[in-house]
Chains A and B, each alone.
Chain A
């Protein structure tokens, strides 16, 4: 589908001169409108991306003081992967687990807000978005207090024997996955809400008139119609969650570190730019691969 298909592009009528001028102007209008966005994309996405790509091929023997030479060192990739594959797989595992949790919570939430909330709709939406008004870091630190070893939550879980007497939540994979789920939930809920809100209630009524069970109605009507929101939401959730390093850093331990932590340390601590860049590129391609497979299977090419 094309957004700009409706721009009257002159429709090929070589008429009087003023009209030609007009149509020529219309012809360039879309490009003109695109100019700010395209320039932004070029400057802040494409250029850094190419720079990163070339950094990933720098000579790994280079250093800050002597500078790095581009030697097309493709060996940086296998080396990086071999050293850090556990963190890599962990990133996808944790992000995947968080996504499942977020879907279980987010879908009913979005559905309730969109279809059942009535006059509370706006208030509930504000509640979903409100945490975003404080910084990501502060929210994650708040979770440290909630999950604290001596906090009420851990105390309660110990009392009901869900946790052993020495059990804890903080500094475990559970805490990291919970943190990821919480921090990125709004990115999933908002697009879902947007598509569920447009859901025509009469379609659901029609389904039940035709003797579809509620489950079947959901499977055959609601779910397909909410697909665009669901897909956009999952992507918006999964992509940043995979690359996140704050949750693992603050709520986890070294044994929970994700690939983001490794990249952070490669760039800031070890000053190994080629490896940091190679890891970033690997992460990016892995995510792209997952997204492509997902979109193919979900059957919506519209998103791209």
Chain B
């Protein structure tokens, strides 16, 4: 069709729109040249606390990390206890599935000093350390946390990333060690067995959390994960690489190894104590092993991010969970290591068997073998994480 007006063709339109859009966007973004620093300071990013007027709180936690009623999964007895005691409404969300994924979810807001809509989030040591390093976490007021002051386990005080104990409060702690399904394979004692025993080939998983997997490997080589050198790390990584390349290790997982272990698709794995105890209730053939060479100790920490507007409410909740009776109620359900002193005595009243379980209230024998992964700076973190990711395939 010929007319005075040039007809609009699809291709012409596409080129035109895309071209002008690209130009426009190019002008806009390239002028910005890069990204701003994500580092925040206490003076630069000030948060307001509306707790006085707003009786509410948004709490982000991992799945299955809170006690639920046996009859009604929608009821959470300890949390409901908090609500009725304080009148603070808690919006409880199980949206932390993976530290890295969660970091991706909140990093843009926190890097720009904006609210995430969350007042408490629960993240593992190393992620807590990273966020603290970036200045994204609010300082807690110790005057509001008398229970924490009194009851926090001594071994969890003054940790390298929070020497003054006012940024991160452990929610639960746990061990990373070995686990196996006795229906599929025989007893497993060491990490070397896990990585080389022929009957386990292709039926082994390890954790995507670098610190847990690599910590265990370092210890199996006789090195200390709290203090190691770059070449020791490389040695341990080579050991892992051999097991991956030969197809011995099937997959690297987050929490999702648990159903596979229960089904018997995997025979043995590197796993977390709490998951394994829970699986063990349904099937006593599923067992957790503390390797002779040592076991990794980690915590998940309650953090109050910048611009969270209910800090005092959050402190009330943190303090509430450090009441030994409440802590025992929670520990009886989640079965991780309880960071609250005095909870063991309370647990005697709820379930004496759990009170004597060394994976919930660890004894000296286990604590002496437990190590915490070295605190890494940003450069080390990237170096080690990149090497590790290359071995686990990504």
Contacts and interface: CB of A to CB of B under 8 A. Distances in A.
Nearest to B245: A255
Nearest to A63: B378
A265 B103 CA distance: 12
B28 interface: yes
B394 A254 contact: yes
B37 A65 contact: yes
A69 B34 CA distance: 4
B21 A41 contact: yes
B39 A254 contact: no
Given A47-B28, A254-B251, A304-B11, A148 B244 contact: no
A1 B22 CA distance: 25
Given A42-B17, A269-B385, A12 B26 contact: no
A268 B130 CA distance: 14
A84 to B, nearest CB: 9
Interface in B1-42: 1, 3-5, 7-11, 13-14, 17-18, 21-22, 24-26, 28-30, 33-39
A271 interface: yes
B382 A67 contact: no
Interface string A152-193: 000000000000001010110000000000000000000000
B212 to A, nearest CB: 14
B35 A67 contact: yes
Contact of A27 (B5, B28, B35, B249): B5
A205 interface: no
Interface in A188-218: none
A5 B1 contact: yes
Nearest to A65: B39
Nearest to A273: B35
Contacts of B382: 63, 270-272
Contact of A171 (B24, B101, B202, B390): B202
A39 to B, nearest CB: 10
Contacts of A264: 394
A135 interface: no
Interface stretch (A48-56, A98-106, A112-120, A219-227): A48-56
B38 A64 contact: yes
Contacts of B26: 50
A130 interface: no
Interface string A5-44: 1000111100000000000000100110010001001100
Contacts of B391: 254
B250 A253 contact: yes
Chain B interface helix/strand/loop/mixed: helix
Contact of B25 (A31, A51, A271): A51
A150 B265 contact: yes
B75 interface: no
A66 B25 CA distance: 24
Contact of B29 (A27, A47, A149): A47
Nearest to B201: A166
Contacts of B251: 171, 252-254
A295 to B, nearest CB: 13
B389 interface: yes
Contacts of A3: 10
Contacts of A129: none
Contact of A267 (B30, B104, B244, B263): B104
Given A253-B250, A265-B389, A50 B7 contact: no
A65 B28 contact: no
B30 A70 contact: yes
A38 B385 contact: no
B66 interface: no
A9 B3 CA distance: 8
Contacts of B37: 65-67
> Which of B9, B379, B391 is the most central at the interface, judged by chain A CB atoms within 10 Å of its CB?
B9
17 contacts: A1-B10, A9-B3, A47-B29, A64-B38, A66-B37, A67-B36, A70-B33, A83-B390, A149-B264, A150-B264, A171-B251, A253-B393, A254-B244, A254-B252, A265-B394, A272-B382, A304-B11
Given A41-B17, A267-B104, 17 more contacts: A1-B10, A42-B17, A46-B24, A49-B22, A50-B30, A54-B34, A64-B107, A65-B134, A67-B37, A70-B33, A149-B264, A149-B265, A150-B264, A170-B265, A171-B251, A255-B244, A264-B394
Interface of B: 1, 3-5, 7-11, 13-14, 17-18, 21-22, 24-26, 28-30, 33-39, 100-101, 103-104, 107, 111, 133-134, 202-203, 208, 244-245, 247, 249-252, 260, 263-265, 378-379, 382, 385-386, 389-394
The 4 A-B pairs of least Cβ separation, nearest first, read A254-B393, A46-B21, A12-B4, A265-B394
